[in-house]
Structure 1
Amino acid sequence: MSSEVLFTGLVLLVGLERVAELVVSKRNAAWSLERGGVESGRRHYAVMVVLHTALLVGALVEVWVLRPDVVPALAVVMLLAVGAAQALRWWCITTLGRQWNTRVIVVPGLPLVSRGPYRWFSHPNYVAVVVEGLALPLVHSAWVTALVFTLANAALLTVRIRVEDAALRSVAGSSPAGVAS
């Protein structure tokens, strides 16, 4: 089996993980909105969806069209990083529980979450996104996709974190209800 086929399998697995996230997110967003949650940042959400889809598609296109050589040591380290990013992401999801979703929704009156990875930093899910966005393409030496996604994601996260922090400040004492931070 070729490295391109194996890489395609990996990207498809990550894509399936994204579908699972969206199922959880939709259910949890409804829960938050039913409890008076206020959504912020709708304008950048579509950009985020396109960018994350472009990561998966771009990595596959680069690997199948440009056929970069796999660097075995890099591939192993990056595969471990992808696994660590997935573990961190699901730790964030389970820590926030019903309050987690992919949108910025704050439920007034809920306390800020300060356990799990939130004990150490404010936006651990974004750490997972950054690591995955760099590491996934580099499993198969797709440098262009890794670089383009990383730069575009840095711009998006600048907006996203500002929106999220402002939403949290506007409802003092609230939890990031589903904020994918």
Structure 2
Amino acid sequence: MTLPYAIMIFITLQRISELFIARSNTKALMARGAVEYGRSHYPVMVLMHGSWLAVLWGTVGGRPVNLALLAVFAVLQAMRVWVLATLGRRWTTRIIVPHNEPPITGGPFRIMRHPNYFVVICEIAVVPMIFGLVWVAVLYSVLNAAMLWVRIRAENAAYCDVAA
């Protein structure tokens, strides 16, 4: 197995495990009376992230690995773990707003409003660049920016709706 494919296996298994965690957390939150917002854009987001992975799988073979950018990716993974640990059972891939619970303000949320989105923005650009795939980094960064424009507006509106 080559290093590019080992990296892709790691990322793919990570994303799959996160989907299971997100599904479990979503069910628990909904059972406690939480409300989902932004449901209509969710399939588009899943398609975008899935196609990003598919394009990477189809293009990384035999490419050199930039070890400095791989180190940046490792730092991003530590940040991802920090975000998920801070959110705990409230972390999902959907916009789920718990009833009578304020937004999380500890951990990385003390530093920035949407730390998970920061990590995702960086990953979508950095991972392709690890393999020298500039076009993938640019294309999916633009697509992700459009997705986050919709998603962050929906998320902010959801918390304003709950606060009202």
Q: TM-score, with normalisation over the residues of structure 2?
A: 0.94
CA distance in 2, matches of 1:20, 1:139: 23
8-17 or 79-88: which moved more? 79-88
| 3-state SS of paired residue (1:171) | helix
Q: Write the deviation string for residues 92-129 of structure 1: whole angstroms up to 9, x where unpaired.
A: 11101111111001012102211000011110000110
Per the TM alignment, residue 77 of structure 1 is displaced from its structure 2 partner at its CA by: 2.1
- Is there any run of 5+ residues in structure 1 with no aligned partner, and where? 174-181
Q: TM-score, with normalisation over the residues of structure 1?
A: 0.85
- Is there any run of 5+ residues in structure 2 with no aligned partner, and where? none
Paired residue total: 164
Q: Which residue of 1 aligns with 2:9?
A: 12
| Pairing of 1:137-148 with structure 2 (within 5 A) | 137-148=128-139
2:103 maps to which of 112, 134, 139: 112
2:116 is the alignment partner of 1:125: yes
Large movers: runs of 4+ above 3 Å: none
Please, what is the CA RMSD of the aligned residues? 1.5
2:39 maps to which of 39, 42, 45: 42
Q: Which residue of 2 aligns with 1:101?
A: 92
2:153 maps to which of 133, 143, 162: 162
Give the aligned residue type for 2:144: N
Give the aligned residue type for 2:138: L
Percent identity of the aligned residues?
A: 37
Q: Is the 8 A contact 1:62 1:145 kept in 2?
A: no
Q: Which residue of 1 aligns with 2:50?
A: 53
